[in-house]
Each structure stands twice: as C-alpha cells, then as structure tokens.
A and B are shown apart, each in its own frame.
Chain A
Amino acid sequence: MTADLTIAITAGVLVACGVYLILERSLTRILLGVIIASNGVNLLFLVASGEPGRPPLSNLWGADAIADPLPQAMVLTAIVITMAVTAFVLALAYRSFQLGGHDEVADDVEDARIRALAEADEQSDSYEDSTFSDTGEDSVSE
C-alpha cells in the first residue's frame, strides 16, 4: 500500500497545531486544539484507507473500485463523538466563566495542598493513628 505524503503531513500539522492549543490555559483554546487535533486524527484514517476510491455503494460500484469502508465507519463515529465533546467542554467553559468571570483552567488547589504536606513531611488527612493497646486504657472493644 502506498501512503499519501500530502495527507500525512497535513494530519501532522493539524495535530501539532492542536497540541499547541491544548497546552494553553483557556478552555476555549484547549477545545479548539482538541477539535483541530481530532480533525488531524480523522485524516490519518484517510491515509490508512489507501488511495481514493468510489463511494462504497454496492449497487453502483464493484468491489475493486470502492474505497475501504471500515475507516469510514470508524471516522463517522469519531466525528459525532467530537461534536458531543465540543458541546460538553463548551458548557464547562461557560460554567467556569459564569462562576469565575473567565474560562481558564487553574492549577488544582488540592494538589498544592498535598505538595505542602509533602514538604512539611506530614501524613495525609485520611491517615489515622488508630493504635489500640492491650493495657485496657484506650480499649477499643464495645
């Protein structure tokens, strides 16, 4: 099978542009990055399906003439899922804007707290020093 260089490079550029945007802070930009990268990945399926062919309609064209239908079925699924993801992340961005006046992804506060614990050489909050001794003083039995 022969690979189409133009399509492969275009896919690479789309993924690169997507990655650049995904590494941003603004949710809208991250989302644009996800969409562009998804488009790039969908293009990869074109590379995988080989050279262009006729539409896979068995009443119109012969088995040798048509393009490979399997990647098409997969991409079709991917396209629709991307739409669902787009809408969901947009709603997230809007909610973030509604609450904070911007749509930026801030650093996780909880993680910063754990880092502080690690630097102070302390245990986590979920840790309990729950010793029970057999002296009967702090007995556990009921």
Chain B
Amino acid sequence: MDTKGTLVLFALIATHAIVACLTPAISRFLGTRTFFLLALPPAATAAFLLSQSGRILSGGTWVERTPWIESLGIELSLDMGLVQWVLALVVSVIGVLVLLYCRWYFDDRMPNLSSGVLLAFAGAMLGLVTADDLVVMFVFWELTTIFSYLLIGHDPTRRANRGAASTAMIVTTAGGLTMLLGIIAIGHEAGTFSLSAILAGPPTSTLAGAGALMMLVGALTKSALIPFHFWLPGAMAAPTPISAYLHAAAMVKAGVYLVAVLAPAFSSVPHWRPAVLILGASTMVVGGWRALRQTDLKLLLAYGTVSQLGFMVLLVGMGTKAGALAGLGMVIAHALFKSTLFMIVGIIDHSAGTRDLRKLNGVVFRAPVLAALGGLAALSMAGMPPLIGFITKEAAFEAMVFLITGDQYGVTPLAGMLLAAALVFGSAITVAYSLRWWWGAFAPKDGAPVLDWHAPALGMTAIPAGLGVASLVGGFLGHPLTELLRPYSETLPLGKESHGFALWHGFTAPLAMSAIALISGIALFVFRSDIARIQATFPEQTSMEEMFHRSMKLLDRLAVETTGRVQRGSLPVYLGTILVTFTILSLSALMDVRFWPRVMWFSSLAEVAVCALIVAAALAATKSRGRVRGVLLTGATGYGLAILFMMWGAPDLALTQLLVETVSLLVFVLVIRKLPRYFTNRPLSSSRWWRVLLAMAVGTTVTLIALIAAGARKHTPVSDAWYVATYEFGFGHNVVNVALVDTRAWDTFGEITVLVIAATGVASLIFLQTRAGELTSTDDALRAQNRERQSDSSPAVWLRAGQTMSPIARSLMFEVVTRVLFWLLILISVFLLLAGHNAPGGGFAGGLVAGLALVLRYMSAGRHELDDAVPFDAGRLLGSGLLLAIGTAIAPVFFGGKIFQSYDVHLNLPGPDTVALFGREFAFLGDLHLVTSTLFDIGVYIVVLGTVLDLVRSLGSGIDVHQLHDVAPTPIHDSTKALPARGRRR
C-alpha cells in the first residue's frame, strides 16, 4: 500500500533520539520518575503499530521513503510487513515495560547516561526491524551495537564491565562488518539495496550467495550463536533491566529477525542450511549445558538465552514453512517469558541483595506471588502446557518431524533424526535449568544463610506479573497466533504447512517428543548432583572465549612490536623516512618518462643574477652557526623570491612576499632576542654527510619533477577563462585578487581561518592560561611607576610610552621616524585594500602593511604604546574579521544568489569627474564602482591585521613580561647555554 509522503515511523525514531538526549536535563527535575516520560516514545510507537494492525493483518505493508545518498542508490526507506510489525511490536511493548520497571529498579540513583542510551536503543531497534534499505538497516544495526557497548560498560571503573563491553563490541562489530560486505555483494548483484525488492527477486549468482552467508555471519554474532556466543554472558555486566531488554528480548533477536527475513530467499544457498542447523543445534545444547552449572541466577538465564537463540535461529533458518511459523512463535514466547524472568531476578537482587542461588533461601515464603509468577515464566521456558512456551515448542518439534519425513530434500532423514535428537536433548536441558532456576531463586535450602529481605515496590512486581500472565494467556491463543503468523510462513518455498499452535493436536510424534523432553528434564534436575559430578569429569576444553582473549592479546603484542619497530620517536628519522620514500617513488615514476622536456637555460640575465644570490644565501644559511645570521640569510632568499615574482609579472605576489618576509623577520627578531646567540653544539657530524646526501637527492628530484611536469604540459591552462570571467562575474580587473575574493574565495576563507588558529596558538603558548595578556596603557604604567601624569597626556597625543622605557632602550631617531611613518602606512594599507580589486594590492597586503605600522609603534615605544594604539584584545579583531567574511559569504543566499556570489553597484557622485593637479588629470568624483566582494576583502584585512597584532602582543609584549617576571631562562652572552629562570614559572 502506498504510504508515500508520511514519515510517521521516522518521526517516532527521531522522537526516541530527541527524548534520549534530553534525559539528563529532565531527570534533574523528575529523578527516577523520568522513566515514566521515557516510556512515552515506545508507548506511542506501540499505539501507532496497533492502529496499523488492520492494514498489516490484511497483508498490507507500511512504506516510508525519502531520498538519501542518491548517487549510491541508498535511500532512507522503511517497509513494514508482517514480520517487521510483529518484531516492532515486541520491541516497543517490552521497551515500555522495561522502562517503567527501571523507575523502581534504580531507586533514587538515576542513571542519566544509561537511561538515555536505553531509550535511544529502543529507537535504533525500531529502525533496525523496519528498515527496508539494507544500508540503513546496517546503520541501525551498528547503532544497537554501540548502545549495547555503552550500556554494558555503564560503570567504566570496573574492570569486568570494561572487558565485557569491549568483548561484546568487538565480536558483534566484526560480525557487523562482515554483514556490510555481504550487503554490498548482494546489493551489487541485485542492483538495489531495497530488502523488499531483493526478496521479491533474489539474485542467484555465486557472489550473492556468498553475500547471504556473510550476512548470516552478522546475524550469528548478534544472536550469540556458537562460536560467537561468549560475549552474551559477559554482557550481563549491564544492569538487570537492560539485560532483560537488550540481551534477552530485543537486540539479540536482531540476528533471528535477519535470518527470518533472509530465509525465504536464501535458505537454499549452498552452506546456509548446514551452518544454521549445526550451529543452531550445538548452541542450544552447549548453552543449556552451561546454564545447568551456573550459580548466578542472571548468568543462568544468560546461558539459557544463548541456548534458546540457537533454537530460534535454527527454526527460522532452516527454510521450511513449519519451521518459520514455529520460530516466529518462539520469538514472541521467548520475549514474554525471558523478560519476566530477568525482571524477577532484578526484584530478588533488589530485595535480597544477592543473586547467588546458594545464598537465596526460602524466598517462596517471603514472596509467594513472585514465586508463582516466576514459576509461570519458568514453566513456559521449560515448555510445559498450557503455557505459550509449550505450544511453540510443539510446533517446533512438528517442524523437525516434517524434516525427518522428507519435508525438503536438503536434509537427509538420518541427519534429521540426529537433529531432532539434539533438539529433544536441548529441550530436556531447558527443562532442567528452568527448574534449577526456580529452585535456586525461591526454594528453601538446607545450610543456606537466613535471608535479609525487604518487600519490592508494587509497580516493580506488577510489570513482570503482567508479562507472566501473558505467557499463560498466550497458551490459549494458539489459533489467533497461528492465523497471525501464517502469511509469513507461506512466503517460504519449501515444506508442508504446519498444524499451527494449539494445546492439543491429538497423540502425535511432537507430543511424544515433548513428553520425553519433560520427563528427562525433570530427571536431569532431580539427579543434578550426579550430573554435576559427570560434568566435572569432562576434559577441559579451550573455550572460544579463551581463544578470543588469546587473539586479542596477540593483537596487542603485534601492535606493541610494530609500534616499537616503526615508531622510533625521533623527528629526523621520521622526516628522513618520508623524504626517502618521496625520492624513491618519484624517481621510479620519472624513470618511465619517455621524452626530453623542452628546456631553456634562462629567460633573462637578471634572473640568473637573482637566482645566484638566492642560492648563495640559502647555502650560507645552512652553514650559519648564529641565529641572527641564519634568519637574515633566510630572509634574503625570501626577498630574492619577491624580485623573481616581480620579474615574472606577479606584482601581487611580489608585494605580499615582501611584506610577509618583513613581518616574519620582525617576528623572528622578537623571539630570538631571548634565545641563545648560537645554535647548540651537537655531535651531529656523524650524520651530517647522510643528511647532505639526502638533501641533494631530494633537491635533484624536485628539479627533475619541475622540468618534466612543466615540459610535459600541453593543455591550455584552466585559468584562461578567468581573464573574461574576472570582470563579468567578479567586477574587477585584477585577476589574482578576484580569484582570491571571488573565484576561489573558499580557499581564502580556509586560509584566514588558519591564520586565526595559528595566532590563537601562538598566544596560547605564551599566555598559557588566558587567550591574551593583560593590557596596560601608558597611563597605567606610569601610575604603577609612581610617576606624575605627564603634561602631554591629552588623548590626541601618541607615542608617549617611550617615557616608560629605560632611556638606554630609546631611540629619538626611531620615534621621529615612527611619527612620520605610522599614519602614512595606515593610509597606504587602506589604499592597497580598496585598490586591490583593480590594481595590485588587496586585503592581505593591506592588512600586513597596517600590521607593520603597529609593529613600528611597538618597536619604537614598547608594549604600552601598543596597548594605547589598540586598547583591546587581538582576538576581537580576528573574530570580527572572520565573522564579516562569513557574513559576506552567506549573505547572497538571502537574496537568491549563491554563497560567495558578488554583486556590483554603480554610484554616480555629483561633482567633477577629474581634477587637474600638477598638470595631470586625476580621477576625483563621478562614477563609483562598488563590488560586494570588497567586504570579504575587508574581512581578510581585519583578520590579517589581528594576526600581526596578536603575534606582536604575544611574542613582543608577552615575552617582555616574561623577562620582567624572570620566568624564562636568560641566555649567557656569546654562548649556547642559558641560565635558568628564577621567577615562579607558570
């Protein structure tokens, strides 16, 4: 049926998630009563599901679709048919009950994280059982894994919780990833990820078969079948209500669900049936066998769950009509009785303070109602009439009888007999551990201590009571249950129709099997001490769990060995490795080049001269022992580069390079004035020749790459179109500047973000605890020195801070030059910013010039002058610049444009267009062409200015203050060493 456009289920899932996120906030007011609220989303889900029962029971489906990743053919789609509806109902109803039960279980200690995660889990589970797109299902599948991990590890301070959580996580995720491979394989073969489409026309190729088997592996891990069963008992580290929900009623059923929906299409895939039958039967027997020797009631139930899961997977996986019907019936029955049993264990634990059956004595007398309920659920688990467990087990045995009598050709009669025997034996054990559970929980025992018991809350008992009674009522509802599930069993291609669920079918083979199982189960329980002796004589086996832990240990050892070998911890070794790899890979690629690049020696003699200077400076820089010399020589290579840029027709580059080089040089000077004059002498001579060799190899490689890459180029540059586009779309003539603020504005935006981060990083390394140092104006400083206010203290007067410095550090010349240059530089910076759109310049160059003006003031009159000049934190400049840039990026969207789109405006100012000065015409007023991307450039300008200011504040003022407080070492004159600081280091 078409339900396109409505997204009720998605909304419900989202509600689960939202309420889950709000849990901590709500619980502050409501405490554990929050659970009443948390039960609402699953309750709403259950109500919705019931409202759809008419549609579903008449064979319809509920479909929700909305596009997601269209390029991969993945869509957010849910398709709820009968099986999905039944499981969703189980998940939501049990979810409501468990959440209500939690309200009493947790008393007054509201577990914020766990309760939120529990609700989120319920939502994920709902998505998992209704998802139609396999990829979407996988997402929900892994979400349940993660939530389960969080819930098992709810108390990370306990080693057992950590271990159990990570084991569960690793095992189920390994299965989940295998499943993902299977999903991709099947999706590839079928051409769609839609489960309903795949089931309608299953792909038959070998790859699809392998995919189905891989999905089966995922199901087996999730449902804790052998050999992956060991994580489930460990998962009992979670609080009991959570175990009841996740590890009995809901999550572990995900595997059963997956097998159930895949079986109609894939049960005849080679290896599917043997795997399901053998693993299912052995899980049933082994799980039950282990449950028999547990003394912890909850662990006993956990192994019982493992056993029952094996049974259910076997039934739904074997691919016959009768098996499918019985299996799905078991799912419902198991959810009813197992969650009851878990909740009762929770009550006993709560009231008696122990779950150890050796310590529980005579609970039946203290809580007779509870004992009756427990008996009801335990008998349902044992398969005793007239409970729901009986009628489903009958149907299961019938399916086995069909199998033996040749229901389908995949299983030989002998194999069928063997399987039936295993199941009867498994059922007998089930009877035995059911009895053991009830006996352990409630019966009076000799020699056990007297129990300290307090009565449980009424509501806490009411919930398992409801579920327990449902087990009883369910036993009499065999016919409606059959009618409900029959449409699903008919989708299976093989086998005879089941006789359905009923308390009485006449004297049949299944009844005999039930009787044998019951009688031998009771015998197993009565002679339990003898059985225990026999169990003890069994030879010790290496369990799967042990093997898992060994492999984890091996993995860890492997990681340690690899890390120890690879991670040498030496920066030169790492860099050397990278560079050697670079050289070898590049050279081997160059080996394959089959042409000589077209090469010219040089394009002008001036270029050769500049290059010679650059090379000389670089070589000298490598040899310099003093810091200042090294920095100056490095700077020389940069200035040389600026000249080359100029010669190449790149005035923007030349300008920026010049300014950046100057700022870098000044920043260098600010820092290395406090570092020792010479680099430390280190015994590096042994490795020097290696380093020279590597350096030459890398340099040669770079030269070769440059020549060949440039020589091999034959296509026209992509930037050819820019010439015209620059003016048409960017409204400017300077192609490079328009590229920065319009064509490739995203790059620039990323870049100014980097500037903000770097500036913040520098400030943090100096000021450590705060973003910025304390600002102290000249007036503050003078007051601190107990000096009179100076006569020149009117606000308009600037460059007064020199008075706070030692006369030795002052330079009259410098101060005069600063007075002349400062405003000139600011003017130039604004000119560069505004002219940049049509002529060399722009926000970067402008911002750097303005920054240099500030550096000048700092250099001539110290840090107080800087604080006078900019009496606020540089972070404000950085932030507002970035905000302005973001604003101009986004603003066009509100006017119907695209992000970073530019607009232009022509203003006609009244007045003369030109003025004549010194015999030349200069543009004056008239047509004014404004472009919005200039605003973005202003943002860049402010960020760059803020960055330079931050650098001077940190590396200039900040280091000054360090020296003042003596919190940095003092270099010894003409040495490589420094005296330690005496001040208290922060």
Q: A57-B733, A97-B675, A131-B549 are in contact. Are A1 and B299 (CB under 8 A)?
A: no
Question: Per-residue 0/1 for B629-662: is the Cβ within 8 Å of any A Cβ (1 yes, 0 no)?
Answer: 0110010011001001101111111001100100
Chain A residues, Cβ within 8 Å of B638: 35, 39
Question: Does B962 touch A at the CB level, under 8 Å?
Answer: yes
Do A51 and B603 touch (CB < 8 A)? Answer: yes
Interface centre among A9, A14, A18, A83 (most CB of B within 10 A): A83
B residues less than 8 Å from A87 (CB atoms): 664, 667, 758-759, 762, 947, 951, 955
A139 CB to nearest chain B CB (Å):
5
Additional A-B contacts beyond A73-B743, A91-B954 (13; CB < 8 A): A2-B710, A23-B576, A25-B571, A47-B706, A52-B648, A52-B649, A76-B652, A91-B761, A98-B985, A108-B570, A124-B559, A130-B167, A132-B237
The interface residues of chain A lying within 8 Å CB-to-CB of B234 are 132, 140
Known: A8-B706, A48-B709, A101-B978. A70 touches B739 (CB 8 A): yes
Q: List 18 A-B contacts (CB under 8 A).
A: A7-B611, A9-B611, A12-B702, A14-B615, A44-B702, A46-B644, A56-B736, A67-B649, A73-B740, A79-B660, A86-B668, A91-B955, A95-B765, A97-B968, A101-B980, A119-B564, A127-B556, A142-B237
Q: What 1/0 mask marks residues of chain A from 79 to 121 whose CB sits below 8 Å from any chain B CB? A: 1111111111011111101110111110111111011011101
Does A136 lie within 8 Å of B838, measured CB to CB?
A: no
Cβ of A72 and Cβ of B570 under 8 Å apart? no
- Interface residues as binary, A10-33 with B (CB distance below 8 Å gives 1, 0 otherwise): 111111111111111110111010
Flag if B653 contacts A76 (CB, 8 Å). yes
Q: Given the complex of chains A and B, what is the CA–CA distance between A21 and B692 in angstroms?
A: 10
Taking a contact as CB atoms under 8 Å apart, the answer to whether B695 and A141 are in contact is no
Q: Which residue of A is nearest B696, CB measured?
A: A16
A22-70 interface (Cβ within 8 A of B): 22-26, 28-30, 32, 35-36, 39-40, 42-44, 46-60, 63, 66-70
Asked whether B588 is an interface residue with its Cβ less than 8 Å from the other chain, the reply is no
Asked if residues A16 and B710 are in contact (CB atoms below 8 Å), the reply is: no
Q: Which of B601, B621, B631, B735 contacts A5 (CB 8 A)?
A: B601
Q: Would you call B840 an interface residue if the criterion is a C-beta within 8 Å of the partner chain's C-beta atoms?
A: yes
Residue of B679, B765, B977 near A28 (CB, 8 A) is B679
| A4: B residues at CB distance < 8 A | 599-600, 602-603, 607, 710
In Å, the complex CA distance between A76 and B664 comes to 15
Residues of A within 8 A of B600 (CB): 2-5
Tell me the number of A-to-B contacts counted with CB atoms below 8 Å.
Answer: 425
Contact of B295 among A15, A95, A136 (CB under 8 A): A136
- Is B967 part of the binding interface, using a Cβ–Cβ cutoff of 8 Å? yes
B615 in complex: contacting residue of A10, A83, A94, CB < 8 Å = A10
| Cβ contact within 8 Å between A69 and B739 | yes
Interface flags for B230-261 (1: CB within 8 Å of A; 0: not) read 00011011111001000000000000000000
**Complex alpha-carbon distance, A84 and B959, angstroms:** 18
Q: Are B569 and A112 in contact (CB under 8 A)?
A: yes
The CA-CA distance from A141 to B734 in the complex, in Å, is 72
Residues in B neighbouring A26, C-beta threshold 8 A = 679-680, 682
Chain A residues whose CB sits within 8 angstroms of the CB of B694 once the complex forms: 19, 23
Contact B703 A11 (CB under 8 A): yes
Q: Which of B233, B561, B653, B761 contacts A72 (CB 8 A)?
A: B653
Q: Which of A4, A104, A122 has the most CB of B within 10 A?
A: A4
Known A-B contacts A10-B611, A40-B702, A57-B839; A139 and B692 likewise in contact (beta carbons under 8 Å): no
- Interface pair A128/B159, CB less than 8 Å apart: yes
Please indicate the chain A residues that have their CB under 8 angstroms from the CB of B735 in the complex.
56-58, 66, 69
The answer to whether B656 and A80 have CB atoms under 8 Å apart is yes
Please indicate the chain B residues that have their CB under 8 angstroms from the CB of A107 in the complex.
568-570
Q: What's the minimum C-beta distance from B417 to chain A, rounded to whole angstroms? A: 31
Pair A63/B720 contact, Cβ less than 8 Å? yes
Residue of A nearest to B757 (CB): A84
B695 surroundings in chain A (CB, below 8 A): 16-17, 19-20, 23
Contact digits for B542-559, partner A, Cβ 8 Å, 1 yes 0 no:
000110010011001101
